[in-house]
């Protein structure tokens, strides 16, 4: 059971990070479009992906991660401070996900703000992966 949930968690995390990264990138690319029909079409696709893929797979990742943490008793045991840092970064990543969802419908979005969210998603995700692999503290 442990390996099944761990596999599910890793796949869900990859999909969350990938979906969020691509979504934020398409927000940046959408700012270069000038045809209103193209903009509306891209926004429609972005909203559908955000609502029907990102949120459900985020729930799977969080629930499976919580189950793994409880099953292995990692949250309260010594030497797992990396998990607390990873959870903090997870909350920041979720906030970036909500910001990205709001950016999808915003037609007056400035490019620096869209890039800030996109770059933030990249660095937070990289730090979370590093913490999960190396477990430095």
How confident is the model over 1-57, as pLDDT tens digits?
Answer: 889 999 999 999 999 999 999 999 999 999 999 999 999 999 999 999 999 999 999
Structure token digits, residue 96? 């970036």
Integer Cα distance of 82 and 62 in angstroms: 17
Integer Cα distance of 92 and 66 in angstroms: 17
Mean per-residue pLDDT over the chain, rounded: 93
Structure token digits, residue 43? 């926004």
């Amino acid at each position: 059971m442990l390996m099944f949930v761990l596999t599910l968690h890793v796949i869900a995390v990859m999909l969350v990070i990938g979906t969020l990264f691509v979504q934020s990138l398409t927000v940046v690319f959408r700012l270069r479009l000038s045809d209103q029909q193209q903009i509306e079409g891209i926004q429609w696709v972005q909203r559908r992906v955000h609502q029907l893929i990102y949120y459900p797979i985020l729930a799977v990742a969080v629930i499976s991660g919580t189950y793994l943490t409880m099953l292995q008793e990692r949250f309260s045991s010594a030497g797992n401070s990396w998990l607390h840092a990873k959870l903090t970064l997870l909350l920041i990543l979720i906030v970036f996900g909500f910001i990205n969802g709001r950016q999808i419908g915003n037609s007056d979005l400035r490019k620096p703000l869209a890039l800030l969210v996109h770059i933030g998603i990249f660095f937070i995700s990289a730090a979370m992966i590093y913490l999960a692999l190396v477990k430095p503290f």
